[in-house]
A = this chain, B = another copy of it.
């Protein structure tokens, strides 16, 4: 394991081991400012985690991303398993070397995608009111794990706690995640309970597999129990007794923001306070406003990058459609006083023109702006917590 200096603090701490440090607890809420130390650098919390499914953010290369200062990138084991395969990434020297990313990376277990592709994703599943149970990609779920079909070539792949952890070891992210079953929002309580117990057994097996070769990676548990507080409490109690390095909140935490905030209000105090937590798949601006005071440390979302590709840019005044009447005549930047490389160099007029002309360059510039916005937004949140303002 290469030893890395903590350049951020100009101190000579060897960042060979995963460690979480709480810098400040707000006097006003459960919000906290912390630092997660990883082999590839520090993650300041609360922090936004951008999604780079295939080992890259969409429309941005990792050298540019490192330059922006994004501290943690989320890559998807499921997609990397289907292509190029975890063994190939291991041969390349691990995901950091393969993707030329200098900063920390987290991978999920692969389970989420297996199940969400089968159920059609949370939003679609909610829309279908639970009527859509399965497509035919999942061949079998049993105690061992889940057998599914690759959407690329139809080949059958068995994902178990052991194979998921082994794959994540080969990929070599700084933080990896236990194998779990993602249940749809409309699961009935009986199935939810049975599934939760099996997920707990899967997570215990994940931890055991992890301990065979820690490989300087941190392993997060995934809390489940759907929208049932009793089951969520059970999941917290069970998993927090095990020796995980952090706790991710998975599964459906509600059909809307209100339900999510309610569930997190209940859930967060049940998590081990000295371990970092991660809220999976949430990252729209309204949700962030609600989850930071509840003590969420990190959260990942493809929302900012997807918005960018759809021509929606973030500003302090709100989200703006790039192709909007008047924008092509605005020779100022996307946002005044924004220090991002796009606002420093290009006008809103030009970016608007690129979108109107359907130029890929427009997607690149909007993505840079939105990712930078998220990084700065989280800096401001941390500042406010340090001042006990939230």
Interface residue? A364 (CB, 8 A): yes
Counted per complex, copies of this chain come to: 2
A349 partner, pick from B92, B329, B352, beta carbons under 8 A: B92
CA gap between A99 and B354 in the complex, in Å: 10
CA gap between A92 and B346 in the complex, in Å: 11
A54 partner, pick from B61, B331, B341, B359, beta carbons under 8 A: B359
Q: Is the CB–CB distance between A360 and B357 below 8 Å?
A: no
Which of A83-91, A117-125, A202-210, A296-304 makes up part of the contact surface? A83-91
CA gap between A225 and B188 in the complex, in Å: 78
Interface residue? A136 (CB, 8 A): no
Contacts of A345 in B (CB 8 A): 63, 100
Interface residue? A79 (CB, 8 A): yes
Interface residue? A249 (CB, 8 A): no
Interface residue? A57 (CB, 8 A): yes
Contacts of A60 in B (CB 8 A): 361
Contacts of A61 in B (CB 8 A): 346, 361, 364-365
CA gap between A61 and B84 in the complex, in Å: 28
- By beta carbon, the residue of chain B nearest A360 is B59
Q: Mark A336-354, 1 if CB is under 8 A from B, else 0.
A: 0000010001110110111
Q: 28 A-B Cβ contacts within 8 A?
A: A53-B357, A54-B353, A54-B354, A54-B359, A55-B350, A56-B359, A56-B361, A59-B364, A79-B357, A83-B353, A83-B357, A84-B328, A84-B349, A84-B353, A84-B356, A88-B329, A91-B329, A91-B331, A92-B347, A93-B331, A98-B347, A98-B349, A98-B350, A98-B353, A99-B350, A100-B345, A100-B346, A360-B363
